[in-house]
Amino acid sequence: MGSTISASELQAIVTGWLRDLEKHRDEINALNVFPVPDGDTGTNMYLTLQSVANQVGSTAEKTVAGYSQAIKDGSLKGARGNSGVILSQILRGMSDVIIEGGDLDSKLLAKAITGGADVAYEAVMKPVEGTMLTVIKDMGRAARRASRKSEDITEFLRAVVDEGMESLARTPELLDTLKEAGVVDAGGKGLVVLAESALATISGDTEWVERPVEFAVSPADFMAGVVSDEREIDLEYTYCTEFFLKGQNIDTIEFREEIAPLGGSLMVVGDGLIVKTHIHTNDPGAVLAAATARGELSGLKIDNMREQTAETADKMITAAAALEHKAVGVVAIAVGNGIKDILRSLGVATIVDGGQTMNPSTEDIVKAVEAAPADSVIVLPNNKNIILTAKQAATLTDKRVYVVPTRSAPEAFSALIAYDDSKSLNENGQAMDAAAALVTTGEITTASRDSKVNKKKVTKGDIIGIASGSLIAGGGTVAETAIKLIKAMANQDTEVITLIKGAGLDEAELPKLLEKLEKKFPLADTNVYEGGQPLYPLIIGIE
């Protein structure tokens, strides 16, 4: 067992960090309590480390000190969001201690972790306990204790990881927002992942046991709480502003004091030559003016957090709806990323890949039904060739299954609008049957062989329009074929025309098509969606 960390081991630790943080990125993102003004913690920490790894990879000085300098430089350049900036400060504090020290043994590492915690506390104007700051501070304390007990670096790291886990588990006790949400701190979780990763790299034991974070309440409940009327989303500041300030002898303390009255969540970090600034403000202009008086700006990023909040809230609701265990869930078979996204946004829990050219097996559907977080399951086959497979799958599982025989995505969308998971399986099935039956589907695709439409010859490769199993139109452009097809399918009572865009559609054809439809069917709402399906430039639903 070694008592020091070598240069190549340090490099391996950084590589491991990036790999392990990527693995835990979504899990950490899911821990965000607020409608995250700064975006996702896991993603921010990951991107910060990516910059660290790049710098370490490109440094010429392949020593412990050289790598440490690279870790410091890379993290400061790449830091994103609150969590990334705090992480960069921790790494900067650690690196400074290591660069000054000799052999990287447990004593020096303990000093480095403590140094990292100190620098991070200084960088934040109002340190909040129960965050990653607390976790790094506690790890530093455990590190000092452990370094006195043993010289073995693996044992030392294990003690640091254990304390990190415990400290992380205590974060909800320190921070009410975490407690209300029933989660631990996301940034703290990220730090623990990094500590565990370093331990795994040094001990060679890469199969370390995952200890997943438990949600004290269901993700759906806490995410729903975020937008409930009890908790008004009220952001004091609109813009998240971030930039580097480069110059000579920049007085960071003076600069911080000058811009502090302009906003909140302020962080000004760096040395006299390069300063990273992060602030939430209503007046980015005044912040930038103060900055440009002192040096040159680079890496400027200004985000409107109100927009982010609305988007994130949407994303959270969708994610939460999919995770939540329901009495009645939905499994859908689909192809095309756009179609899948819409299905998920309508509450579909599990999606099986499959469509015209790749019909899923009975077993694929059975597996999805069994994996769906629901007691009973509605299946939407979305293709006439898959309906029977779905019905057979229904007989091969212990779960109660209702197959709504949808033959297309527009039918599925219509069925899902009628879906209500507070109702029984049969009530849902019948309501969804009825809703799907209102939809007629047309498809635009390419002829796979020579044929005839209305006595006109269609050659293999021509654009054709199909509805209810018959060839209706063919031989023109996608838009020309679509308009013929829709005229054949729709009438003056048509209320909704749904167009799902797929591969092979020329976007330039769309505006004219929409104009013609508006003229021909003035009462109808025409809705265009990104479907992303192959082979069918347009799938058309008429209601």
Partner 1 sequence: MRIGIVTDSTTDRTAAEYAERDIVMVPLVVRFGDEVHFDWVDVEPQEFYRRMRASAVLPQTSQPPVQDFIDAYRALAKDCDHIISIHLTSRLSGTVHSAEAAANMVKDEIGVTVIDSEVISILLWAVIERMDEARRAGQTLEQILNIIEECKKRAKLFFMVDTMKYLQMGGRVGKAQAFLGQMLNIKPILTLTDGGTPTPQAKAKGTKAAVRELVALARAEIDSRPADQEITLIAAHADNPEMLAYLEKLVAEAGLRYTKLITGWVGAVVGSYVGPGTIAIGVL
Minimum distance of partner 1 from residue 81's CB (angstroms): 20
Nearer to partner 1 by C-beta: 216 or 224? 224
Paired tokens of 237:
């500041």
Tally of CB atoms within 10 A around 377 = 28
How far apart are CB 530 and partner 1 at their closest, in Å? Answer: 9
CB of 42 to partner 1, least distance (A): 23
d(Cα 116, Cα 253) in Å, to the nearest integer? 19
Q: Kindly state the smallest distance separating residue 233's Cβ from partner 1, in Å.
A: 6
Q: How far is the CB of 379 from partner 1 (least distance, A)?
A: 19
Is 136 or 223 the residue whose CB approaches partner 1 more closely?
A: 223
Strand 496-501: give its sheet, edge to edge. Answer: 470-474, 463-467, 440-446, 538-542, 496-501, 525-530
CB of 405 to partner 1, least distance (A): 21
Cβ proximity to partner 1: between 223 and 366 the closer is 223
| CA atoms of 247 and 269, how far apart (whole Å) | 14
Q: Are 159 and 131 spatial neighbours (Cβ–Cβ below 8 Å)?
A: no
Minimum gap (Å) between residue 277 Cβ and partner 1: 21
Q: Would strands 326-334 and 350-353 be described as parallel, antiparallel, or unpaired?
A: parallel
**Binding residues for partner 1, per CB under 8 A?**
220, 223-224, 227-229, 231-234, 238, 282, 304, 306-307, 309-310, 313-314, 317-318, 320-321, 341-342, 345-347, 413-414, 416-417, 495-496, 523-527, 529, 543
Q: Which residues contact 355 (CB under 8 A, 6 or more apart)?
A: 333, 334, 335, 336, 382, 383, 533
Chain centroid to Cα 168, Å, comes to 23
Asked whether the beta carbons of 48 and 87 are under 8 A apart, the reply is: yes
Q: Evaluate whether 53 touches 210 at the Cβ level (below 8 Å).
A: no
Considering the complex, state which of residue 61 and residue 530 has its C-beta at the smaller distance from partner 1: 530
Contact call for residues 467 and 440 (beta carbons, < 8 A)? yes
Query: Please, what is the minimum distance in Å from the beta carbon of residue 508 to partner 1?
Result: 22
CB nearer partner 1, residue 207 or residue 232: 232
Question: Is 485 or 496 the residue whose CB approaches partner 1 more closely?
Answer: 496
Q: Could you tell me where the DSSP H helices lie in 440-530?
A: 478-489, 510-520
Distance CA 486, CA 493 (A): 13
Angle between helices 106-123 and 81-100 (to 10 degrees): 140
In terms of CB distance, is 169 or 300 closer to partner 1? 300
The region that residue 499 occupies, defined by phi over 0 for left and psi between -120 and 50 for alpha, beta otherwise, is beta
Least separation in angstroms between CB 541 and partner 1: 10
- For partner 1, the closer of residues 8 and 337 by Cβ is 337
How far does Cα 473 stand from its chain's mean position?
42
Pick the closer one to partner 1 by CB: 431 or 471.
431
Q: Spell out the alpha helix ranges (H) of 346-468.
A: 362-371, 387-395, 409-417, 425-437
Q: Of 46, 5, 72, 9, nearest to 194 (Cα)?
A: 46
**Closest approach of Cβ 416 to partner 1, in Å?**
8
201 versus 441: smaller Cβ distance to partner 1? 441
